[in-house]
Structure 1
Amino acid sequence: MPNANHAPLPLPAVHPVSPVAEDLGRRFQDAGFRLALVGGSVRDTLLGRLGNDLDFTTDARPEQVLKILRPWADAVWEVGIAFGTVGGRKDGYQVEVTTYRSEAYDRTSRKPEVAYGDTIEEDLVRRDFTVNAMAVALPAVEFVDPYGGLDDLARRVLRTPGTPQESFSDDPLRMMRAARFAAQLDFEVAPEVVAAMTAMADRIEIVSAERVRDELNKLILSDHPRKGLRLLVDTGLADRVLLELSALRLERDEHHRHKDVYEHTLTVLEQAIELETEGPDLVLRLAALLHDIGKPRTRRFEPDGRVSFHHHEVVGAKMTKSRMTKLKYPNDLIRDVARLVELHLRFHGYGNGEWTDSAVRRYVRDAGPLLERLHKLTRSDCTTRNKRKASALSRTYDGLEARIAELKEKEELDGIRPDLDGNQIMQILGVGPGPLIGKAYQYLLELRLENGPLEEDEAVSALKEWWAQQS
């Protein structure tokens, strides 16, 4: 059913995408083959958002495609040839040409079995959604839409060309793509598709963690991630791929003494997106999505009736590492997201803004290169409807940022180090490398954080005094 919140999309007439596509179509025609622009390329053309990636389908087999592409393209690659796809680059466009095909999973396989087809209709029916099952035959520029994709595009609805059960059996990852396209395009998912996703959610478990992760990233980096994440949770897919998000739907006590953590999390994500300044930030968005996942494990009902979540940031950081590792995220991304989750409450540990210079230095030191993201995450974490409270928190954080800027003018805050390095410490103490040098270094670092920069003679004197106490 169409999205009741949107008017139907006004769709432009189909027209040649570029001279590159028409030229390639003529070359295939001259060689005795059919070629069509297909899938997302046609959908995005109709939406007026086509980029430089062009997808084509053909009745030519991969070896024949290579013979046509090699003398024409600026570069050609065969990475996907086992799946019937040959890639290339021409005049700034990335092109992929795939032989008509059908692919299906058995009950345990993680990789599709490829079989080539003979007609474009046969190829289109195996695609994920009707809005991706449209084609433009080239070079004649004839619109091919056997499954009503144009109508669905205009109505902003996602349906499958065949039955959703058949589609999701062929490739279970399409269930996650439904959530991703809903988030990217702000479309609704047809009721029968949602029902099939719910009934077949366990099929996602045969898909590799890497493919699941990539779809999840595209969803999170979209313009409307809340819509896609809700669909994952409501259909039970999140229980298989991001259980921690589903677990945030805590039962609230009868007096509603703690906020809805699930809704709060989705709101924090949206507010973090509003603070982005240089495009979608995967680290910030993942941290916003996962910042409170430690709450279900740490929730306690106190004797006075309050609900507490003590140390949920520490527990949440460990859970973040575990989940992101299972999804095969890169180690540096895991480290950064988990660190932000661990630090997201640090601001609130300093009361009402009585920030000493020492506290500011430690805040900056602990955040390191993540400081700007921590600023955005901390601000996003305020979802109170109490305008006075929200305003007070905002002013307090404004004050912290001003203090950081003020201290940065006076001293080096980025990469705070002791006033003496390891070599100087060994020379002054007359000892070689070992655990004591590490302790001395740490002692001087604490002095630096507490008191700011010291003159060299002050640092030497402090070191000698510490050394005498150790002896």
Structure 2
Amino acid sequence: MIKGFARFLQSPGERLRSLFGASEAAGGPSTPRVIPRDEHPVSRRQFSEAALKVLYRLHNAGFEAFLVGGCLRDSLLGLNPKDFDVATDATPEEVKQLFRNSRIIGRRFRIVHVRFGREVIEVTTFRGKPNDDHGEHLASQSDAGLLLRDNVWGNIEEDALRRDFTVNALYYSIADFSIHDFAGGLSDIESRTLRLIGDPATRYREDPVRMLRAMRFAAKLDFHMAPETEAPIREMAPLLLQIPPARLFDEVLKLFLSGEGLKTFRLLREYHLFAMLFPEADECINEHHWAEVLIEQALGSTDRRIRDDRPVTPAFLLAAFMWGPVQIRQAQLEADGMPPVPALQTAAQQVISRELQHVSIPKRFSMPMRDIWDLQQRLPQRRGKRAFQTREHPRFRAAYDFLLLRETSGEMPPGLGAWWTAFQEADEHEQRRLLHSVGTDPASSPTRPRKRRRRRRPRSNTSNSPSES
């Protein structure tokens, strides 16, 4: 797939020796392999105009400027690159001075976002080793090894070895259009291998989210993980509990809205990572097969919509992930005597409250999610005008799709979904027939409620009064 690279590729053993052998122990960087423009297939035509503007302005101002990471990896794999990241020796403040349409974000990792309309180009300064002192910029780690701050500036060689996977440590120079490979990424792309740079256990402790990234890349790129990369994951999965819930929500969106959500879910389950994100859902899956089937069907449907370039919402997937726990809690509350509607509402609140301790779900998604759940109790109620009122609800279509998943997963018997399918497609006459089949034709119901007839009390007859009988 990658033509003209054979003489630049090393065996895994040679690569590891060059990365972690004597030169690394001595603190020196590995020697990069530089592939000139006429010997690689990457072209500037594959890059966005915004990315090129950033690269050229940095270059013309006297700074080093490289495209780095996923956009190069995807280009080499024949995929369409979407996200363009730039690495430079300019500090965040220097980058901001060059671009009025930019802002510095982050405390843990200070980076610059340069905005061109809806497109954002992420610009990062070359980072050095965490334990090096580069003036006022220091890195800090927790006692467990978690990297708390990482604003140590370095050179491009140090920056490359600080990146997570070898396939993401490729740099495209705007100066001469060459590709710089510091970690054997080209060889791993050729063999479709996902390999962490450095000692995997140490790198996972520095940032446990790398375990989630490993799952996402393995699923998205159809790569296999190198044995040393996957070996510690199951044991180290609980380290994800150290990560702020807000950051994990961002990772959840990347995991399940990449177009390979189903494959990603199965990998997360296999490596015990899903339980760190959705613990109650994972417990439910282990006890109720239908809950896993429902989630997989929801993910499969979302993957198809993404491939067809149709809109998707995280609310629908989140509703599927947590529906099983909601049903279990609702059943327990009803068994204790609580009516169905408040039981569902209480169960939903309890499940969401527990989930927020792991993954922070914004209200713009949790509110539609709860609407989908609430409508599951309204969909069976089709008498009178209720069917028309339910159909006009803003979340009806999502709730209807969710109902179909519940039936096909085996959670509930089929039939209701087919009725609603027919009702949506029917003309007025057929709708009346369908409504009559459940008991009431709305046409026979008056537009205003009937007045109750006052029942007259019978006049008393003194001759028949009990007192005189």
Work out which of the residue numbers 158, 162, 165 in structure 2 matches 1:122: 158
AA at the equivalent of 1:137: S
AA at the equivalent of 2:109: F
Other structure's SS at 1:95 match: strand
Query: What is the alpha-carbon distance in structure 2 between the residues aligned to residue 83 and residue 272 of structure 1?
Result: 32
Work out which of the residue numbers 423, 427, 436 in structure 2 matches 1:400: 423
**Aligned equivalent of 1:379:** 404
**Aligned equivalent of 1:336:** 368
**Aligned equivalent of 2:292:** 262
**CA shift digits 1:3-37 (9 cap, x unpaired):** xxxxx788971222366655654554454432211
Q: Is the Cα–Cα contact under 8 Å of residues 39 and 55 in structure 1 kept in the other structure?
A: yes
Structure 1, 14-23 or 121-130: larger mean CA deviation: 14-23
Work out which of the residue numbers 101, 112, 122 in structure 2 matches 1:86: 112
1:142 Cα offset (Å): 1.5
Q: Is the Cα–Cα contact under 8 Å of residues 272 and 376 in structure 1 kept in the other structure?
A: no
Other structure's SS at 2:179 match: strand
Does 2:103 align with 1:77?
A: yes
Q: Is the Cα–Cα contact under 8 Å of residues 313 and 344 in structure 1 kept in the other structure?
A: no
Q: Is the Cα–Cα contact under 8 Å of residues 95 and 112 in structure 2 kept in the other structure?
A: yes
AA at the equivalent of 2:85: D
**CA shift digits 1:297-352 (9 cap, x unpaired):** 5789xxxxxxxxx99966763444224543332224212212323444655x47xx
Q: Is the Cα–Cα contact under 8 Å of residues 99 and 116 in structure 1 kept in the other structure?
A: no
Structure 1, 116-125 or 393-402: larger mean CA deviation: 393-402
Question: Which of structures 1 and 2 has the bigger CA Rg?
Answer: 2
1:463 Cα offset (Å): 8.9
Q: List alignment gaps of at least 5 residues for structure 1.
A: 1-7, 252-257, 301-309, 411-447, 466-471
Work out which of the residue numbers 31, 38, 42 in structure 2 matches 1:14: 42
Q: Is the Cα–Cα contact under 8 Å of residues 61 and 99 in structure 1 kept in the other structure?
A: yes
**Aligned equivalent of 1:289:** 321
**Aligned equivalent of 1:98:** 124
Other structure's SS at 2:286 match: coil
Query: What is the alpha-carbon distance in structure 1 between the residues aligned to residue 175 and residue 331 of structure 2?
Result: 63
Q: Is the Cα–Cα contact under 8 Å of residues 57 and 97 in structure 1 kept in the other structure?
A: yes
Does 2:181 align with 1:142?
A: no
Output aligned runs, 1:331-370, within 5 Å. Answer: 331-344=363-376, 347=379, 349=380, 356-361=383-388, 363-364=390-391, 368-370=393-395
1:146 Cα offset (Å): 1.8
Work out which of the residue numbers 27, 35, 48 in structure 1 matches 2:79: 48
Query: What is the alpha-carbon distance in structure 2 between the residues aligned to residue 14 and residue 375 of structure 1?
Result: 46
AA at the equivalent of 2:425: A
Other structure's SS at 1:200 match: helix
Query: What is the alpha-carbon distance in structure 2 between the residues aligned to residue 111 and residue 462 of structure 1?
Result: 72
Change (3 A) 1:329 1:275: same
Q: Is the Cα–Cα contact under 8 Å of residues 245 and 356 in structure 2 kept in the other structure?
A: no
Query: What is the alpha-carbon distance in structure 2 between the residues aligned to residue 92 and residue 241 of structure 1?
Result: 30
Other structure's SS at 2:325 match: coil
Change (3 A) 1:81 1:171: closer
Query: What is the alpha-carbon distance in structure 2 between the residues aligned to residue 320 and residue 188 of structure 1?
Result: 35
Work out which of the residue numbers 223, 226, 235 in structure 1 matches 2:259: 223
Q: Is the Cα–Cα contact under 8 Å of residues 286 and 337 in structure 1 kept in the other structure?
A: yes
Query: What is the alpha-carbon distance in structure 2 between the residues aligned to residue 108 and residue 171 of structure 1?
Result: 11
Structure 1, 167-176 or 273-282: larger mean CA deviation: 273-282
1:203 Cα offset (Å): 1.4
AA at the equivalent of 2:404: R
Q: Is the Cα–Cα contact under 8 Å of residues 147 and 207 in structure 2 kept in the other structure?
A: no
1:371 Cα offset (Å): 0.2
Q: Is the Cα–Cα contact under 8 Å of residues 9 and 156 in structure 1 kept in the other structure?
A: no
Query: What is the alpha-carbon distance in structure 2 between the residues aligned to residue 269 and residue 345 of structure 1?
Result: 23
**CA shift digits 1:183-226 (9 cap, x unpaired):** 44444433433322212112112211100111012212221212
AA at the equivalent of 1:76: S
**CA shift digits 1:26-74 (9 cap, x unpaired):** 55445443221111232233343223x431112232333334x23xx6x
Change (3 A) 1:48 1:341: same
Output aligned runs, 1:30-45, within 5 Å. Answer: 30-45=60-75
1:464 Cα offset (Å): 10
1:141 Cα offset (Å): 1.3
Change (3 A) 1:153 1:161: same
Q: Is the Cα–Cα contact under 8 Å of residues 302 and 312 in structure 2 kept in the other structure?
A: no
Work out which of the residue numbers 59, 64, 89 in structure 1 matches 2:89: 59
Other structure's SS at 2:150 match: strand
AA at the equivalent of 1:49: N
**Aligned equivalent of 2:8:** none
Which portions of structure 1, spanning 4 or more consecutive aligned residues, are displaced by more than 6 angstroms?
8-12, 108-111, 310-315, 407-410, 448-453
Q: Is the Cα–Cα contact under 8 Å of residues 321 and 335 in structure 1 kept in the other structure?
A: no
Change (3 A) 1:108 1:397: same
Does 2:279 align with 1:279?
A: no
**Aligned equivalent of 1:434:** none
Query: What is the alpha-carbon distance in structure 1 between the residues aligned to residue 417 and residue 344 of structure 2?
Result: 21
Change (3 A) 1:464 1:162: farther
Change (3 A) 1:110 1:219: same
Change (3 A) 1:172 1:22: same
Query: What is the alpha-carbon distance in structure 1 between the residues aligned to residue 385 and residue 144 of structure 2?
Result: 57
**Aligned equivalent of 1:200:** 236
Note the aligned Cα RMSD (angstroms): 4.1
Query: What is the alpha-carbon distance in structure 2 between the residues aligned to residue 260 and residue 372 of structure 1?
Result: 22
Change (3 A) 1:463 1:146: farther
AA at the equivalent of 2:369: V
Q: Is the Cα–Cα contact under 8 Å of residues 287 and 341 in structure 1 kept in the other structure?
A: yes
**TM-score with structure 2 length normalisation?**
0.69
AA at the equivalent of 2:397: E
